[in-house]
């Protein structure tokens, strides 16, 4: 069963606007972690943000925030004030705790295009 | 960054030949991972290591083997490469099992 779902293969956003990239997950493990990575055209995988399942507040890192809705099992990435350099592929990932060990599962990704 | 390097960065080989990819890290992280990235699949775990000489299979381990004789090095071997193993291979490391994984630059492997 697919455990990480990113339903948006591609998205466009106007420069300086905010954009939300969707991610839903499926797990029965009460302990898990959620990650977002950015992959620019150069190919490297860049860690952006992390949310633990027991964290009470949404994670934020600069212009990135993670909209964590535990009951809905969603972990959407919000990028505020988009920049041209934000154009990239974005991957949502989940690490299950007790039952999954430290294996991290990735979604198929969303390609974001920022328009000038 | 975790100071992770991969070699080679690009390789073209023929079906049936053995191939070894190397991952080297300078951060003394205990955990290391090999992933492959294919269009439409995101990243899929091939093998991982939780210490020197301690390794286990991931989601797509068939046709691959690994070895870790030192903390800093994690080798991925394709004993007899097939065209289906054409992919981009990423190494990652983490300090703890529940910590963030940091990735190397990737190796693009083409099997003709």
Question: Are B45 and A103 in contact (CB < 8 Å)?
Answer: yes
Mean pLDDT, rounded, for A65-72: 96
How high is the pLDDT of residue A99? 47
Give yes or no for B102 touching A (CB within 8 A). yes
Give Cα A51 to chain centroid, integer Å. Answer: 10
A19-54 pLDDT, tens digit each: 999 999 998 888 899 999 999 999 999 999 999 999
Distance from the Cα of A54 to chain B's closest Cα (Å) equals 13
B35-64 pLDDT, tens digit each: 999 987 889 999 999 999 999 999 899 999
Closest CA to A53 of A18, A6, A100: A100
**What distance separates the 2 farthest-apart alpha carbons in chain A?**
45
Question: Are A35 and B100 in contact (CB < 8 Å)?
Answer: yes
Question: Are B42 and A104 in contact (CB < 8 Å)?
Answer: no
Q: How confident is the model at residue B2 (pLDDT cuts 50, 70, 90)?
A: low
Give contacts of B31 with chain A, Cβ < 8 Å. 102
How high is the pLDDT of residue B100? 87
Q: Rounded to a whole number, what is the distance in angstroms from the first to the last CA of chain B?
A: 34
User: For the stretch A20-58, what's the b/e string if a residue is b when 16 or more beta carbons lie within 10 angstroms of its beta carbon?
Assistant: ebbbbbebeeeebbbbbbbbeeeeebebbbbbebeeeee
Question: Is the pLDDT confidence value at A80 over 80?
Answer: yes
B18-28 pLDDT, tens digit each: 999 999 999 99
């Amino acid at each position: 069963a697919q455990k990480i779902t990113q339903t948006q293969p591609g998205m466009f956003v106007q420069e300086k606007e905010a954009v939300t990239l969707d991610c839903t997950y499926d797990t029965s493990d009460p302990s898990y972690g959620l990650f977002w990575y950015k992959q620019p055209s150069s190919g490297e995988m860049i860690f952006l943000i992390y949310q633990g399942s027991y964290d009470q507040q949404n994670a934020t890192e600069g212009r990135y925030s993670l909209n964590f809705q535990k009951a809905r099992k969603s972990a959407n990435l919000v990028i505020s004030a988009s920049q041209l350099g934000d154009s990239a592929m974005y991957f949502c990932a989940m690490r299950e705790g007790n039952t999954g060990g430290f294996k991290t599962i990735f979604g198929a990704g969303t390609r974001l295009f920022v328009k000038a | 960054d975790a100071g992770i390097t991969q070699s080679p960065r690009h390789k073209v080989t023929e079906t049936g030949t053995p191939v070894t990819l190397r991952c080297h890290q300078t951060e003394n992280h205990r955990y290391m991972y090999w992933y492959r990235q294919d269009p439409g699949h995101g990243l899929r775990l091939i093998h991982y290591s939780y210490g020197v000489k301690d390794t286990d299979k991931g989601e797509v381990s068939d046709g691959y083997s690994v070895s870790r004789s030192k903390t800093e090095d994690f080798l991925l071997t394709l004993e007899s490469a097939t065209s289906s193993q054409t992919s981009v291979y990423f190494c990652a490391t983490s300090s703890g099992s529940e910590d963030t994984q940091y990735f190397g630059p990737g190796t693009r492997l083409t099997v003709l």
